[in-house]
Amino acid sequence: MANNDIYNEIQYPGPYQLAWAKFRADHVSWVCFCIVIFFIIVAIFAPLVAPYSPTEQNTDYVLLPPSWQNAGDVHFLLGTDDLGRDVLSRLIYGTQITFGLSLLVALAAMVVGLALGALAGMSRGIRASVFNHLLDTILSIPSLLLAIVIVAALGPGLFNTIWAVFLVLIPQFVHRTRIAVQNEFKKEYVTAARLDGANDFQILISSVFPNIIETIILQYSLAVSAAMLDVAALGFLGLGAQQGSPEWGAMLAGSIDLIYRASWLATLPGVTMFLCLLSVNTVGHGLRNALKQRSE
């Protein structure tokens, strides 16, 4: 039926609104997105959400099982560890360290990596060749091994772990951005923009970056997952967060000796990390697919 309203302009959804609608239509990605938002809220408001301090010891409730077991106590929903510390509170505070810091470190690495990758993608000649070979050499080293080497040089500790993970993630963003920028600069719309008088920086900001946003989002989700695994692995090895810290990897390391006696001490941090990693990766792939289809 024809529209008789000739005075009011019809508002059509933009490409990003269409992408958001397609993302919400993907129920699995939307559920995982809600889970990620939940983890973010928990990380921000951990001191308000946690019922106890992560270091508070309750000597009368040592190795208390989760509350749904017969020997459990409702005051300690997920039980206590060998020092009487509340497991739920430690998991909540661990969200700040393992997940929250991974988000921030990956974001900082993304900013630096995008800048370096864009410069590498627009460079030509010997400078580009040397940079690309150096980058390929760095990427040939597994990220966890490279993080261990950096922490070994800087010294153990959570602060040095964050620096190590930050330095390890940058080459990955540089590599992905360089390839994406090089591919975009070969396309016809870039040539048309140059004929209109736009320089490389203007083309990069106004044309190239909007067209590689799905690549950036996917790489960021992968970087967050890699950062979480590296932080937890270094904490598990005793090179990152030290024993007693509520970091998820350190909690796993401290529960190895008690795995047969108090299996929940190892199971709960592992399940929490698995759920967080799965949700982050699913959201990243869902956003990438939605943004990739925004022009269809």
168-184 residue pLDDT tens: 898 888 888 888 888 88
Total domain count for the chain? 1
Checking if the pLDDT of 92 tops 90, the result is yes
Which domain CATH number covers 256?
1.10.3720.10
Checking if the pLDDT of 3 tops 70, the result is no
Binned at pLDDT 50, 70 and 90, residue 4 comes out as low
What is the percentage of the chain residues whose pLDDT exceeds 70?
Answer: 92
Binned at pLDDT 50, 70 and 90, residue 244 comes out as confident
pLDDT number for residue 154: 83
Binned at pLDDT 50, 70 and 90, residue 2 comes out as low
219-228, 270-279, 283-292: least confidently modelled range: 283-292
Query: 53: left (phi > 0), else alpha (psi -120 to 50), else beta?
Result: beta
Binned at pLDDT 50, 70 and 90, residue 291 comes out as confident
The count of other CB atoms within 10 Å of the CB of residue 68 is 10
pLDDT number for residue 6: 57
Average pLDDT of the chain is: 84
Instruction: Examine residue 1 and state whether it is found in any structural domain, yes or no.
Output: no
58-67, 113-122, 124-133, 212-221: least confidently modelled range: 124-133
118, 179 Cβ separation under 8 angstroms? no
- Which residues lie across from 76 on neighbouring strands? 73
Instruction: Examine residue 15 and state whether it is found in any structural domain, yes or no.
Output: no
- Which residues lie across from 86 on neighbouring strands? 80
Q: What is the pTM of this model?
A: 0.86
**Segment 112-119 mean pLDDT:** 87
| Parent domain of 184 | 21-292
**Segment 225-244 mean pLDDT:** 87
233, 144 Cβ separation under 8 angstroms? yes
- Give the residue from 61, 69, 110, 106 showing the smallest Cα distance to 87: 61
What is the percentage of the chain residues whose pLDDT exceeds 90?
Answer: 23
- Give the residue from 253, 274, 220, 268 showing the smallest Cα distance to 104: 220
Checking if the pLDDT of 31 tops 90, the result is yes
Q: What single letter denotes the amino acid at residue 170?
A: I
Instruction: Examine residue 10 and state whether it is found in any structural domain, yes or no.
Output: no
Binned at pLDDT 50, 70 and 90, residue 10 comes out as low
Q: 274: exposed, middle or buried (C-beta count within 10 Å: 0-12, 13-18, 19+)? A: exposed
Checking if the pLDDT of 214 tops 90, the result is no
Binned at pLDDT 50, 70 and 90, residue 32 comes out as very high
pLDDT number for residue 84: 86
Cα 231-96-28 angle, rounded to 5 deg? 85
Q: 136: exposed, middle or buried (C-beta count within 10 Å: 0-12, 13-18, 19+)? A: exposed
DSSP conformation letters of the chain: ------SSPPPPP-HHHHHHHHHHH-HHHHHHHHHHHHHHHHHHTHHHH-SS-TT---TTSTTPPPTTSTT-BTTBTT-B-TT--BHHHHHHHHIIIIIIHHHHHHHHHHHHHHHHHHHHHH--HHHHHHHHHHHHHHHTS-HHHHHHHHHHHH-SSHHHHHHHHHHHHHHHHHHHHHHHHHHHHTSHHHHHHHHTT--HHHHIIIIIHHHTHHHHHHHHHHHHHHHHHHHHHHHHHTSSSPTT---HHHHHHHTGGGTTT-THHHHHHHHHHHHHHHHHHHHHHHHHHHHHTTT-
